[in-house]
């Protein structure tokens, strides 16, 4: 998406306690994968609870351009009719992924492993993000990179081989996107494709590949057993199935932290996915003293979900170990906001991957904290936020750099600072949480234009 439209500044003002119940939108990671595996399957995939945010709609459009047909039956209810592995066709036009890193990188894995040619592009944020981490393993699997922008970025054009070469690949960063791209390319390889990761990252691709009929084995890896070896048997027949998408813990994070920092609040967030590779923020907040209860734990669509009852809490600073980063990689901006209201120092270790998200999130968070009078420090790849337990001044304007999570995190902050907080552009919130504004307003939050 070229983000040509006028920016939409938004402001959040401190006010009354937040009260009520909400269900956040469907998980973004699972929604992308549902569209992609739907494309690669024979027959119908029925999806319930799909996140209809811009990122996922881009992936859906790309799947359609590669041959899938799709029908939207109602809110979040979609049917995808796939073409099967080997059945993809060349898209007529460039696949424009807008702001979507996950959609573009996973689809590069798909195209890179199949005999099709496609060009990938996106907005200014996506054009700045590193793609070599995907292109390097794909080249080993036989993908030709016909064109790429400087430094291995989009726009880039890939041509996949008739059959991919099965590889054993150690990911250079703890990244579910790299792992997933290699596994998706490996679907068209005659033999076993293995991805070794030094630290376990979100496992939605592995789980969903099994759901669609592939054989995937996962074994602990490394001296401490924190890593994983994920082995996929190539050239399976994937069959369309039913996918129920649980609520996204990375979206739930925003109302959750808002309820913790706005005095007197009590809210319930329904149906939140509790996959342990996604719950690092909840673990951290509980260590900080947050009052979060997990209620009605149950299975939904192959994942454990729970309702979270959250009450405003006095927080204290903690040390967040680097090993926890993969389980909360998207949650650091809003954790930094929580830390600004805590008593003492919160040290977040090992945040180098934050520099290559939708924006340089480490720099964007630091600038946002500075603009709102919060004492903090970047030490190497670590972020330290100092709080004295009182509401920070606020009153600043935060540059969001086309990053939805920077926008939402600082709007949450403005609900409890002394003065309102403004973000320069809230348009990108629609990529992951299109109903953020009305959902927050329904809880009583003073967020608006
Ligand atoms: C995602 C993986 C993470 C995360 C992103 C979604 C996924 O990225 O930040 O929002 O769905 O696989 P990395 O794999 O680059 O860490």
- Over range 370-374, report the average pLDDT: 98
**Could you say which of 121, 248, 330, 403 is catalytic?**
330
Predicted TM-score (pTM) of the model is 0.98
Percent of the chain with pLDDT over 90: 97
Q: How far is the CA of 339 from the centre of ligand 1 (A)?
A: 23
- pLDDT for 4 equals 54
Beta bridge pairs of residue 220: 228
- 345 strand-pairing partners: 386
Q: Is 293 exposed, middle or buried (0-12, 13-18, 19+ CB in 10 A)?
A: exposed
Mean predicted confidence (pLDDT) in 179-184: 99
By the 10 Å C-beta count (0-12 exposed, 13-18 middle, 19+ buried), 286 is classed as: middle
Distance 103 CA to ligand 1 centre (A): 10
319 is catalytic: no
Question: Chain-wide mean pLDDT for the chain?
Answer: 97
Atom of ligand 1 nearest to the CA of 177: 14
In contact, 245 and 49? CB cutoff 8 Å: yes
From residue 231, how far is each of 167, 180, 191, 256 by CA, in Å? Answer: 10, 12, 10, 36
Q: Where in the chain is the domain with CATH 3.65.10.10?
A: 10-26+249-448, 28-234
Give the Cα separation of 147 and 402 in Å (integer): 25
Tens digits of residue pLDDT in 81-121: 999 999 999 999 999 999 999 999 999 999 999 999 999 99
Q: How far is the CA of 177 from the centre of ligand 1 (A)?
A: 5
pLDDT score for 59? 98
Q: Alpha-carbon torsion 383, 126, 48, 303, what sign?
A: negative
Pocket test for ligand 1, best of 100, 175, 275 (most atoms within 8 A of CB): 175
Shortest-distance atom of ligand 1 to CA 33 = 11
Dihedral sign (CA 281, 285, 288, 293)? negative
Q: Which superfamily, per CATH, for 10-26+249-448?
A: Enolpyruvate transferase domain (3.65.10.10)
User: Ligand 1 site: residues with CB under 6 angstroms?
Assistant: 29, 102, 175-177, 180, 202, 329-330, 353
| Second-level CATH architecture of 28-234 | Alpha-beta prism (3.65)
Q: Tell the residue nearest (CA) to atom 15 of ligand 1.
A: 175
pLDDT of residue 229 exceeding 90, the answer is: yes
Q: Is the pLDDT of residue 374 over 70?
A: yes
């Amino acid at each position: 998406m070229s983000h040509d439209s006028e920016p939409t500044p938004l402001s959040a003002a401190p006010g009354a306690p937040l009260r009520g119940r909400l269900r956040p939108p469907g998980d973004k990671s699972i929604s992308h994968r549902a569209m992609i595996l739907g494309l690669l399957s024979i027959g119908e995939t029925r999806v319930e609870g799909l996140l209809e945010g811009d990122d996922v709609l881009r992936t859906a459009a790309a799947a359609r351009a590669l041959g899938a047909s799709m029908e939207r039956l109602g809110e979040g209810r979609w049917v995808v009719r796939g073409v099967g592995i080997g059945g993809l066709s060349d898209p007529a036009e460039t696949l424009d992924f807008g702001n979507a890193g996950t959609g573009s990188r996973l689809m590069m894995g798909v195209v890179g492993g199949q005999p099709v040619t496609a060009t990938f592009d996106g907005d200014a944020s996506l054009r700045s993000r590193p793609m070599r981490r995907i292109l390097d393993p794909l080249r080993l699997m036989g993908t030709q990179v016909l064109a790429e922008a400087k430094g291995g970025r989009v726009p880039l054009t890939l041509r996949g081989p008739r059959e991919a070469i099965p590889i054993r690949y150690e990911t250079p960063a703890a990244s579910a996107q790299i792992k997933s791209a290699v596994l998706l390319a490996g679907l068209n390889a005659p033999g076993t494709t293995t991805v070794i990761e030094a630290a376990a990252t979100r496992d939605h691709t592995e789980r969903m590949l099994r759901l669609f009929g592939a054989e995937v084995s996962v074994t602990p890896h490394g001296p401490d057993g924190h890593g994983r070896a994920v082995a996929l048997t190539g050239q399976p027949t994937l069959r369309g199935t039913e996918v129920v998408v649980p609520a996204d813990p990375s979206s739930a994070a925003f109302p959750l932290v808002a309820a913790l920092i706005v005095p007197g609040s009590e809210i319930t967030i329904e149906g939140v996915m509790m996959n342990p590779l996604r719950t690092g923020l909840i673990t951290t907040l509980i260590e900080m003293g947050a009052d979060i209860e997990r209620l009605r734990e149950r299975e939904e669509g192959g994942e454990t979900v729970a309702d979270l009852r959250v009450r405003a809490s006095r927080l204290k600073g903690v040390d967040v170990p680097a090993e926890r980063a993969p389980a909360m990689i998207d949650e650091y901006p809003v954790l930094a906001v929580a830390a600004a209201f805590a008593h003492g120092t919160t040290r977040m270790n090992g945040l180098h991957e934050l520099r290559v998200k939708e924006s340089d999130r480490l720099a964007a968070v630091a600038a946002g904290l500075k603009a709102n009078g919060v004492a903090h420090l970047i030490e190497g790849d670590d972020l330290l936020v100092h709080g004295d337990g009182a509401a920070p001044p606020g009153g600043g304007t935060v540059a969001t750099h086309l990053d939805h999570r920077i926008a939402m995190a600082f709007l949450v902050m403005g609900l409890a600072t002394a003065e309102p907080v403004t973000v320069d552009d809230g348009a990108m919130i629609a990529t992951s949480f299109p109903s953020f504004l009305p959902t927050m307003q329904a809880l009583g939050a003073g967020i608006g234009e």
